[in-house]
């Protein structure tokens, strides 16, 4: 089958959202792509629990995160609504890269879009960035917006 090429079909796009300027840019890119591709967008935020976490602490973190992220989701929802894009939002608790990778697999996401955080080279070497981890382990294409 030399010469045949399949075009990727991006029907479900996941945006990793943390409320930052970079995450807002990633959401804007996702909405723009979704409009041209007739795709659905999932804006997905992940709250990190305290370590070691007790169930009471996890509940408190999740409650605080829901309040924080819901405020950020308002703007993204408004933009999607203006463009006629179907948009879902959700919040999980855990390590952001692991949760994004897991959610992308379970929801059969076709494309993950992340904002790139400006961290020093030293910090990336020690911790590794969320976007680098998602790029390495996601089952689907990943776009990093700068």
Cα 137 from Cα 139, distance rounded (Å): 6
> Where residue 51 falls among pLDDT bands split at 50, 70, 90?
confident
Kindly report the pTM of this predicted structure. 0.84
Nearest to 31 by CA among 85, 112, 75: 85
pLDDT of residue 6: 44
Structural domains in the chain plus CATH codes: 17-145 (3.40.50.620)
Tell me the pLDDT tens digit for each residue of 73-101.
Answer: 999 999 999 999 999 999 998 899 999 99
Tell me the pLDDT tens digit for each residue of 52-62.
Answer: 767 777 778 77
% of residues, the chain, pLDDT over 90: 60
Cα 43 from Cα 69, distance rounded (Å): 10
């Amino acid at each position: 089958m030399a010469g045949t090429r399949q075009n990727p079909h991006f029907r479900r796009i996941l945006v990793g959202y943390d409320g930052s300027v970079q995450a807002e840019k990633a959401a804007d890119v996702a909405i723009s792509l979704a409009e041209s591709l007739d795709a659905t967008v999932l804006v997905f935020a992940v709250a990190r629990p305290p370590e070691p976490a007790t169930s009471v602490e996890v509940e408190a973190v999740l409650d605080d995160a829901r309040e924080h992220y819901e405020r950020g989701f308002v703007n993204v929802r408004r933009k999607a609504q203006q463009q006629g894009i179907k948009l879902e939002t959700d919040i999980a608790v855990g390590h952001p890269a692991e949760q994004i990778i897991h959610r992308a697999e379970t929801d059969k996401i076709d494309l993950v879009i992340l904002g790139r955080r400006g961290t020093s080279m030293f910090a990336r070497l020690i911790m590794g960035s969320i976007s680098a981890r998602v790029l390495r382990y996601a089952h689907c294409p990943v776009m990093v917006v700068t």
